[in-house]
Structure 1
Amino acid sequence: MKSAAGVPQGAALRLGTRRSKLAMAQSGMVAEQVRQVTGRDVELVEITTYGDVSKEDLARIGGTGVFVSALRDALLAGDIDFAVHSLKDLPTTPAEGLVLAAIPVREDPRDALIARDGLTFAELPSGARVGTGSPRRMAQLNAWARSHGRDIETVPIRGNVDTRIGYVTSGKLDAVVLAAAGLNRIGRLAEASELIAVDAVLPAPGQGALAVECAASDPELAAQLAELDDPVTRAAVTAERSLLAALEAGCSAPVGALADLVDDGQVTELRLRGIVGTTDGATLVQMSTTGPVPASDEQARALGRDLAAAMLAKGAAGLMGERTP
């Protein structure tokens, strides 16, 4: 017996993943969950993406899709059965022939600081060099420093977690900022000297969440993978990504967004916060809105579109061009 896509029932499912330590760790987590819900073995298929081999700055090559295109090509070619992505790497435009079958429960969406001598961001000395590959982080870190009368230098960096942390241990940088979720998934969260509050730095849209994608031609597999889906996480990241899409910004743009539940005793509202800024931190547009919970996909998308419209009316579009500190 075969599924609609022609995969023999009972055969091992092929999970496409990037080769990095983080990608392998998070794909391994999903593989175990898929084994439990399907009763089938899952084998990891390592795939190299353009973003993995390019040495250029992500903002320069246009970060949207550079870590996912090769995985999607493999899905469409039938070389793998499903793929796991970091959701923040996915383009906001749906891919023809593919379905986003599941968005599991989100990890901590915050950014984490790894600094020399265990310093917090507030304790870094004037002139401290802070590494990040994200224009979004640059904008907000520089803005925070400005608002506190501080002077820091944000330094663009690339590389895997080991490489980035190595900039601190070698003394080349005073600190680096990474996603807390990624550090946790590879067992290195204890190395963070501070988890940065979202009130200070909003994360990237979808940060901390994973995306499980498969071919639309295999509805049986899609239905099985859907058992991993978390409705609250899906509503939150749908709103965040709708904001990003309506701003017509890619995943390398200086845009932060976070949708979370408003704890009003009944949890009946979803709050969406968004921020756009110049990378030097001189100018920011930061706004928020709320919508109902539970939210349908269309309600979540509308929440993002409405907030984007308000932000654009406040001049957000003019802040997304390149401006370095």
Structure 2
Amino acid sequence: MQPSARSASRVRGMRPSEHWPASPRAALSSFQLRSEPGLDPAWLPFPAMPAGTMTAAPHGSGPVDALELMRMQHWGGPEALLLVTGRDLAAPGCASVFGYADRRLRMAAVSTFRLKSPDARLTRERVTRVAIHELLHLEGRRHCKDPFCAMHPASNLEELDRRTMQLCERCRRPARRWRAAVLAAAACLVFSFAVDASLKALVRKASPFSWRRQPDGAEVLYRKAAVLKLPGEAEARTAAEVLNRLFAEIDPPPLTVRAEGPRARVVAGPWTVFEIDAAASGGYPAEEFARQWAARMEPLLQGKGSASEGCPDCHTFRREEVRQAILQRTRLWR
């Protein structure tokens, strides 16, 4: 099957040929062909297409890096560029390849080094197969598992000779881009929900203190368990925020109690956790209530958890070791 007149006209210097992939969508936009000086013209693909002269790689032993060969051409045209060289080619991850394509450079290269045959017609046919394969890569085509498809990767001459110059039925089928877009959107949505849930769980774990309203005031909670009752919502909210800030620090300042007449204030460094008086402390002296509460909360804040959640001593007595580990990790990231 030959390509349509419209698709064939898009390929510079080419006539419709039975060797071209049988799909209008597979026809390439215009491209130019350049060959290495001194290369046998009988080996060049697409006989009807005039070939220019490429910049040859420096002489030496061993394969030529395909990307370096492409960059040597200093190609910046809107069309794709196909290079045909007699030198062996190497590509990233491969010691030797028949051809290589780079979509960013809009260039493809084919090597005749391993494609030569006493029969010039067979050599040209092999070069054409590789050229079609690499040019279709420039159009976004991917490898195919069908051994007879033009997009099947060939690792030896036997596989290359078996491969046709036609796309298989699956590769000729129009891509259902809407389905891929829907699947991608669904995957992104699921991923965003998963990330959101993970972040919320992380925030809950790093911020274990909260508060809730009560008919006669408000309570401060540690992982849903009440640890302090205060007369107002504003006081409970402030206490929960300060306690979460202390909990998040590796080395938080200790809780101290300051007596101010009939009232007592619990502070940690520059922050005030709460103030209380005898009426709000259930009849106990405010200072005594505050000191007992601070004594209960200090191991939890320093140990980053209660005894039932782990070992507070691990954080309390190995604080310097934890700090040094964090500093070392910071240096590695820098």
> Which of the five TM-score ranges fits, normalised by the shorter chain?
under 0.3
Q: So what's the TM-score if we normalise by structure 2?
A: 0.25
Q: So what's the TM-score if we normalise by structure 1?
A: 0.25
- Rg comparison, structure with higher value: 2
By relative contact order (CA 8 Å, sep 6+), the higher-ranking structure is: 1
